Amino acid sequence: MRRAHAVTAVLGVIVAITVSSCAVGPDRGPELIPGGGGGNGPATSSSAPPPAPALAVPKTDLEWTDCAAGTSGRYGVARPAGVTIECAEFDSPVDRNKPDGEVVTIAATRARTAATPADAPPLVLTSGSDLPSSRTLMVMSAGPGRAFLDTHPVVAVDHRGIPQSGDLDCMTRLERSTIADNGLTSRGTTTQARISRLASAASSASDGCTETLTPYQLNFGAQFAAADLETLRQKWGVEHLGLIGVGEGSDVVLSYASLYGGRAGRIILDTPTPFGANARDRANLRAQGVQTALQGFAQRCSALDGCTLGTNGVGVMTGLLAKARAGRLDGLSDTTALNAITTTLALAPDRPDALLDLSRAITGADRGDTAALVRLADRAATLRTTDGALVSRCNDVTGPVGQNEIPGLVDAWTKQNPLTGADSALSLVRCNGWASGNGARPPSSLPTDPLILNGTRDPVNGGNGANTLVPLFMNAGAEPVTVSWDGLGFSVLGRSACAAQVAAEYVKKTPLEGPTQRGCPT
């Protein structure tokens, strides 16, 4: 069957759901390590910077309903103890320039504890198109980062187009599976044949999604997700939003700061991606950073009794991906196997058993028993490779890479990053032939100095994006405080009690005093 063509069906009402999880790599305590991120001196300035804009509780709130049980059931995870999980939704214009036109229903999820003050302003969290924001919020709710919830409620706003917010369904099954496998067939194939097959599927999917979504096919990028946050601000009737951008959600937050001037009352960027970078640079940085995260996983697992990866976990994973690439693993391509591993690491509970379970799934698949890793791959696909996630990412692509350049990048990046290089290079083809919008320009000024929480071993994007933002902050006249964390997982704020403490201090009193480069223990 081909696609449905009704935009109204695509932009239907989706009720928000949430899930619970926490992180790999226990936080040993809330102690802050000044200078731990590479510097050790306080910021110098000729005059004290002005205080950040005041945050306020909503004058008109959304209609929240308890949704903890439903979210736990959907994702098969335990309900986070002591945390109230509530869901709501609101309509936002598909195009803010046409306020009387179509609307998309946006899902919101709120987390708070019994200790959260009733008069504490909420912070708004987005993880962009990386993962559903509601899923990312559950990392915080079940991990050490829940300490932040004791000071402020956090409202996760799911990116438009993903299953919780106006789910998109615009690709055929064949297109979807071909893109998910980066063009690999069940029998394996050459790199060149793989690229051709992927490019054909990407072009066909682009045609179909454009046909389904016209005239809104370019309205799913970061700047439109930022517009949904502005809709929420207006519905709340507040002057400023406190914003938390995790991973690609940092692009949404910086787009908001660019498009809506001084409305960003706080800016927390949690392991940000390189705002405005071209497709090649983003993919290369991701390959390097995720390779580092996988090396960290192998190292930490080897120190645990019962780790089936042994002392050469990188070698085991490299061999596994080679078998999958050759078509020797039932139900898995190298791309889906890698997605299973990285997504599981990103969201795994904060206990050694999580690493051991993943190690058993990997070595089982390496021996030919793929059932456990296939289950993890299917779970990862529902979170990260939906139609809406692909459309959103392709909307944001700048400087697409020519198909003829991909074989050279596969060779070069694989030599540098054996686990991730080929996947990152091939994934560039997914958006070839897709229309891309004009992204928001970098903000020329910021109403407050940002707080950067940078995870150096992030399995989704890697931890290299923060350094690329230095010129942006210089041009905006901002001097952020950066806190580095060497733990393993997605979202520093969700995993580190130390980072949660710094974030709470930042929301209370901005700008922060003391060193601008710091570190939190793992």
The pLDDT assigned to 24 comes to: 42
Residue 210 in 3-state DSSP? helix
Amino acid at 424: S
Nearest-angstrom CA–CA distance, 1 and 336: 24
> pLDDT by residue (tens digit) across 45-54?
445 667 889 9
- The CB density around residue 97, as the number of other CB atoms within 10 Å, is 7
Q: Is the pTM of this model over 0.75?
A: yes
Q: What radius of gyration, in Å, describes the C-alpha atoms of the chain?
A: 22
Residue 135 reports pLDDT greater than 60: yes
Let me know: does 422 contact 414? Beta carbons within 8 Å: yes
pLDDT mean over 260-267: 94
What is the per-residue DSSP string for 30-56?
S--EETTTS--SB---SSPPPPPPPP-
In CATH, which of 3.30.360.10, 3.10.620.30, 3.30.1540.10, 3.40.50.1820 is domain 12-17+59-163+220-276+439-520?
A: 3.40.50.1820
pLDDT in tens, 74-108: 777 788 999 999 999 999 999 988 878 899 999 99
The whole-chain average pLDDT of the chain stands at 90
Q: What percent of the chain has pLDDT over 70?
A: 90
Partnered with residue 82 across adjacent β-strands are none
Hey, what amino acid is at 31?
E
pLDDT of residue 12: 42
Strands (E), 308-381: none
The size of the chain, in residues, is 522
Q: Confirm if 428 and 413 have CB atoms less than 8 A apart.
A: no
Separation CA 18–CA 43 (nearest Å):
39
SS3 assignment, position 139: helix
Tokens 């070595």, residue?
A: 363
The pLDDT confidence band at residue 32, using thresholds 50, 70 and 90, is low
Spatial CA neighbour of 427 closest among 320, 328, 295, 336: 336
Buried/exposed code over 426-453 (b: 16+ C-beta within 10 A; e: otherwise): bbbbbbbbbebbebbebbeebbbbbbbb
Max alpha carbon distance in the chain (Å)?
66
Angle between helices 406-416 and 191-213 (to 10 degrees): 110
What is the pLDDT at residue 47? 59
Q: Where in the chain is the domain with CATH 3.40.50.1820?
A: 12-17+59-163+220-276+439-520
